[in-house]
Chain A
């Protein structure tokens, strides 16, 4: 949503279009960034199913990327990653 609406243009009954939150990027909340190691990732999709921000993108049963526009850096993906001894997702400081 680029410009603010005046009262005449406001939708009646606060009706909103579906899925517009996708235009709002929450990535700048992050202080740590998850980095995925494609070599060790076993594509178990745990990070996908447990991501609160729908930031893990999956295509054809494989994790293709982490969308940093939405990722808030909670670290759940690192926590649930079952790869041993070194996890395939590592949280790295943004600085």
Chain B
């Protein structure tokens, strides 16, 4: 595993001058992920904040071959690139070792791009799909998505007299990917560079379809002070709202166990989208959310226990 000093020697593959919001987590994910890859890499991105803000004509912030096709098909596009590469390599027209990474936001992964992702994973293309999950359609001003957690206020499901934010619970995409029986699926976070780069590095060493789900705090959609991005990421891991784990060929491993599991409220408090949960009449909802997090955390620990891999 590369240390920070070793990573710093490698070239930054995303330039500054892109138009992401100040304090955005997505470019942090991209920089760290691409730094972790030593080989030449081809990147595909689904439509979303990342694609829109990094490739505003006539500027591109990518220093690697980059391709964008549509919202729903980043995984399918990447499959095509990978298949063409494999074919050309077989014909002896190209040599070397190239890696393939597809990026997608939660809208382009959980909802709109789900079928293309599912297909690409099932066909077994040698690629890594990284989902930067900011838990709503942030690029089009915070509409709810399949990744939005219960109780979060969005513009299409705002908290008010009738509803207290989103009614349904979040889709667990990492588990969906585990169910595809792929060689590597993992969950990580903005705010733990070591964990993120380690997981990308590990994914690169494995042949076949890989998936990493990264929780990305979004200052605009979540409504917090823009310098708190890293802190909120860490809080999500410490409260077990977003556990860090990996699944290698069906084998669960916990990558991080908080020394002291913090109450969920500590993660929710700095965010405007959960502001209404702290009204006295919503006490019960807050307790339910905490119970839900606890239940999922216990379940995950049990899964890891089965393989004797809990650290």
Contact = CB atoms under 8 A, between A and B. Distances in A.
A49 interface: yes
Contact of B63 (A19, A23, A53, A55): A19
Interface in B227-266: 227-231
B227 A20 contact: no
Interface string A24-40: 11100110000000000
B60 A76 contact: no
A25 B61 CA distance: 12
Most chain B C-beta atoms within 10 Å of own C-beta, residue among A45, A49, A55, A72:
A49
A69 B219 CA distance: 22
A16 B15 CA distance: 14
Interface residues of A, number: 43
Interface residues of B, number: 44
19 contacts: A11-B58, A16-B57, A18-B66, A19-B63, A21-B18, A21-B54, A21-B61, A22-B61, A26-B19, A49-B7, A51-B31, A52-B26, A53-B16, A53-B17, A61-B5, A69-B16, A69-B17, A72-B23, A76-B229
Interface string A45-71: 110111111110010010000010111
A83 interface: no
B5 A76 contact: no
Judged by DSSP, the binding face of A is: loop
A91 B3 CA distance: 27
A48 B229 CA distance: 15
Contacts of B65: 18
A46 to B, nearest CB: 8
A29 B22 contact: yes
Contact of A16 (B12, B18, B23, B55): B55
A52 B28 contact: yes
Interface of B: 4-5, 7-8, 12, 14-28, 31-32, 54-66, 193, 219, 225-231
Contacts of A74: 22-23, 219, 226-227, 229
A50 B18 contact: no
A24 B63 CA distance: 15
Contacts of A22: 15-17, 61
A49 B4 contact: yes
A80 B63 contact: no
A54 B227 contact: no
Nearest to A43: B5
Nearest to B4: A45
B7 A54 contact: no
A5 interface: yes
A17 interface: yes
B68 to A, nearest CB: 9
A12 interface: no
Contacts of A55: 16
Contacts of B8: 45, 48-49, 58, 61
Contacts of A14: 57
A49 B231 CA distance: 14
A23 B58 CA distance: 10
The 8 tightest CB contacts between A and B, nearest first, are A70-B16, A75-B227, A74-B23, A72-B22, A21-B61, A74-B22, A21-B17, A16-B60
